[in-house]
Amino acid sequence: MSQAPTPPAATVSSSPRETPAPRRRRRQRHSALDQYSMHFGPNMTPMVDVVMVILIFFMASAAFLGSEWFLRAAIPAEQGRGGSPTRPADPLALSPQKLDIIMDVDASGATVVSFLQINRGSLEQVIDRLAGFPKDENTRQLEIIIKPTPAVPYRDVVLVHAALDAAGIDKVGIGVTRPAK
């Protein structure tokens, strides 16, 4: 841009000669490459390209990964006290000192939960009680088995499980009754 355009007369006068003509003409042309050679400072275009692609990459991965998550539940080998004597080395095996959360449905169809001192309380009551647990090592060591009766809605079981997870309790089992033989 800063280069002053040469009058066309100069190009015309040098055109009969073979070799220097293209070189002279190229110098006078204001192509993108020519302008770039005059450009001062770093070239931003490739950087912007790459940054845009990275941005789209993270947006796409967040959209795919962010929609759901998982609750880990152990399946106790046996229903009732005693845990699983067959696999003592299993870190998820439920040891004898464990707490039960018993879920049932009352006459009106609402889910009732019994846990610690709460006897057939509401779902919110138990979730509030779990939220009040101190976030310490004792809580983390707790082993809890959720024992719902068949009539309990599955989503309520998941709600209680999520509340346990939020309280920092990792060792959660879901009670499965032994098949009728």
Partner 1 sequence: MRIRRRNSHASGFEAVNATPLIDVVMCLIIFFLIVGQFAANRGMRVNLPAAGSGRDESSSTIMVITVASAGAALAAGQPATSWNAQGVSVEVDGQIVPDAAGLENAVRAQLLGIAATSFQVRADRELSYGSVEPVLRALGQGGAKSVRLATERLP
Tell me which residues touch partner 1 (CB under 8 A).
Answer: 23, 27, 33, 37, 46, 49-50, 53-54, 56-57, 60-61, 64-77, 87, 90, 92-93, 103, 148-155, 157-159, 161-163, 165-166, 174, 176-177, 179
CB of 73 to partner 1, least distance (A): 6
Angle at 41 between CA 40 and CA 45, to 5 degrees: 110
Given a contact cutoff of 8 angstroms between Cβ atoms, the answer to whether 174 and 92 are in contact is no
Whose Cβ is closer to partner 1: residue 78's or residue 119's?
A: 78
Given a contact cutoff of 8 angstroms between Cβ atoms, the answer to whether 21 and 15 are in contact is yes
CB of 68 to partner 1, least distance (A): 6
CA atoms within 13 A on the CB side of 130: 25
Q: 10 Å Cβ neighbour count for 76?
A: 21
Given a contact cutoff of 8 angstroms between Cβ atoms, the answer to whether 125 and 138 are in contact is no
CB of 172 to partner 1, least distance (A): 9
CB of 10 to partner 1, least distance (A): 17
Whose Cβ is closer to partner 1: residue 17's or residue 70's?
A: 70
Whose Cβ is closer to partner 1: residue 53's or residue 117's?
A: 53
Helix (H, G, I), strand (E, B) or coil at 107: coil
Whose Cβ is closer to partner 1: residue 46's or residue 117's?
A: 46
